[in-house]
Amino acid sequence: MKNVIHWFRRDLRLTDNTALHAASISAQHVTPVYVLSGWKNFHSWTGPNRQHFLCGCLRSLDGNLRAIGSRLILRQGEALAELERLAVETSAEAIFFNRDPDPFGRAVEEKLKKMGERLGISIRPCKDIAIHERREVLTGAGESFRVFTPYSKAWEKLPKLPLAGSIKSLSSPSGVESLQIPDNSFWSLPPTAEGVSVAGEKAARTRMRAFLDQAITRYGETRDLPAGGGTSRLSQDLRFGLLSIRELHQECLKRAEASDANARGSVMKYVAELIWREFYMQILWNFPEVLSQEFNPKYRGMIWPGAIANLERWRSGETGFPIVDAAMRELRETGFMHNRTRMIAAMFLTKDLHLDWRHGESYFMQTLTDGEIASNNGGWQWSAGTGADAAPYFRIQNPWSQTKRFDPDGAYIKRWIPELRDVESSKFQDPPAPGLRLAKGYPTPIVDHSVARDITLDLFKAMKA
């Protein structure tokens, strides 16, 4: 072919990008485009941290494309209309892109297929953001898995595709109009967090190398300690496709092979987390109703009777439960929250404050830089007891004993709650005596955990009955 389009979406990189690679070997000229959504204000599913990071990724991608003889064409508006316009302008014979697992992205892909038929343009979806996607991992009876462990065993057995490699040069038609890559003033809200990681493929690759060379062989011991920095911090990079999941997986397997049994266990624990990511993607693909309903049919339509006034105290980290408040302040200040404290904070909202998980799901989507529909919904439903969890609703984490196990010296709590810096850390491991405060200016606990726990058990039992 002479001219084709590569539509960048959640794949903002040149290395091992399936659709971009396919486009580059199929045509003389490739027009790489990103279409920014048309909205100027944020809605309940997005927010400034992610947009800020996206802008950085687009700037970096443009620089990387220029270095290989091309440049990023930026358009804004409805993706379908913009792609049609660009296809006509560049006389494109095909549009290449990597498939999205979420229902919104999939709906656009369906319409794009129809547009291709109407215009006589070939539409070329590729597999890229997951190693195994859609309905590739199935039970013996040909059904989608609803539980993680058998899914992961089947996932591991399937053959893996080789890497596509990196694009070294790209010829693109000249004279195609593009918007300026936006700076942060483009959106009406400034970013809320200061700690957003440096954006772009190069920065993501540096993070990946550092983790693979240093922390991965200790991941098994350190991954659950929120103060420890023992996790990879690659979630935003996987979210925006700055890294290839195939490459990361292959690199992990190489490390596992070269390690002793203990270190290999750590590396494979990390691989299991990458499989969780795909598990939730396939749940969203095969059960898209999870976006509005409980995944577990027994708990569909569950009523959460908590006081909505408590939502703001949870969001602002003022519940009087130090581990929960530290987590919520970490999120507010950095756009990130450690996985262990995501579970604690999410269980606290649902099983201590008895508020609907959808409130938390939406707030996380607005604030997390790595906010990703499938993992976020999966994490929230798992924590609420309505999701894909083999040990269901009666898994209720006690925030005080979680603190004792995972933040024993209070380092995480003290980092995020300045009011508590001078408090003896053992005091974070049990509720304070009635009426007593941990420190001046810090609230007393908003609920009694053991009373709240019994209410939760009754709520679920009533649903089951």
Q: Which residues are catalytic?
A: 273, 276, 304, 339, 357, 380
Q: Is residue 409 within 8 Å of residue 425, measured between CB atoms?
A: yes
What are residue 421's phi and psi, to 5 degrees?
-60, -30
Is there binding between residue 273 and ligand FAD (CB under 6 A)?
Answer: yes
Is there binding between residue 383 and ligand FAD (CB under 6 A)?
Answer: yes
Least distance between ligand FAD and beta carbon 400 (Å): 19
The 52-81 site mask, x for binding ligand FAD (CB under 6 A), equals ------------------------------
d(Cα 245, Cα 251) in Å, to the nearest integer?
10
Its sign, for the CA torsion 45, 49, 51, 57, is negative
Give the bridge partners for 34, in sequence order. Answer: 8, 74
Is there binding between residue 218 and ligand FAD (CB under 6 A)?
Answer: no
Is there binding between residue 232 and ligand FAD (CB under 6 A)?
Answer: yes
DSSP 375-407: HHHHHHHHHHTSSS-SS-TT----HHHHHHHH-
From candidates 83, 208, 271, 274, binder to ligand FAD by CB under 6 A? 274
Nearest to 219 by CA among 160, 259, 246, 277: 259
From candidates 32, 116, 371, 431, binder to ligand FAD by CB under 6 A? 371
From candidates 29, 52, 71, 277, binder to ligand FAD by CB under 6 A? 277
Q: Is residue 182 within 8 Å of residue 36, measured between CB atoms?
A: yes
Is there binding between residue 372 and ligand FAD (CB under 6 A)?
Answer: yes
Neighbours of 310 (CB within 10 A): 18
Least distance between ligand FAD and beta carbon 114 (Å): 31
Is there binding between residue 235 and ligand FAD (CB under 6 A)?
Answer: yes
Least distance between ligand FAD and beta carbon 321 (Å): 16
Is there binding between residue 419 and ligand FAD (CB under 6 A)?
Answer: no
Q: Which stretch binds ligand FAD (CB under 6 A): 35-43, 64-72, 92-100, 229-237?
A: 229-237
Q: Is residue 375 within 8 Å of residue 322, measured between CB atoms?
A: no
Contacts with 260 (C-beta within 8 Å, 6 or more apart), sequence order: none
Burial per residue of 335-369, b for 16 or more beta-carbon CB atoms within 10 angstroms, e otherwise: bbbbebbbbbbbbbbbbbbbbbbbbbbbbbbbbbb
Q: Which stretch binds ligand FAD (CB under 6 A): 38-46, 250-258, 298-306, 335-343?
A: 335-343
Nearest to 124 by CA among 1, 5, 32: 5
CB-nearest residue to ligand FAD = 379
Is there binding between residue 313 and ligand FAD (CB under 6 A)?
Answer: no
Q: Is residue 123 within 8 Å of residue 42, measured between CB atoms?
A: no
Give the bridge partners for 73, in sequence order. Answer: 33
Least distance between ligand FAD and beta carbon 237 (Å): 8
Q: What is the dihedral of CA 318, 322, 323, 325, to 10 degrees?
A: 20
3-state DSSP assignment of residue 32:
strand
Is there binding between residue 380 and ligand FAD (CB under 6 A)?
Answer: yes
Is there binding between residue 233 and ligand FAD (CB under 6 A)?
Answer: yes
Is there binding between residue 339 and ligand FAD (CB under 6 A)?
Answer: yes
Q: Is 59 exposed, middle or buried (0-12, 13-18, 19+ CB in 10 A)?
A: middle
Is there binding between residue 328 and ligand FAD (CB under 6 A)?
Answer: no
Cβ closer to ligand FAD: 234 or 420?
234
Least distance between ligand FAD and beta carbon 17 (Å): 18
Is there binding between residue 368 and ligand FAD (CB under 6 A)?
Answer: yes
Q: Which stretch binds ligand FAD (CB under 6 A): 175-183, 197-205, 269-277, 411-419?
A: 269-277
In the complex, which residues of this chain contact ligand FAD (CB under 6 A)?
223, 231-235, 238-239, 273-274, 276-277, 280, 338-339, 342-343, 346, 364, 368, 370-372, 375-376, 378-380, 383
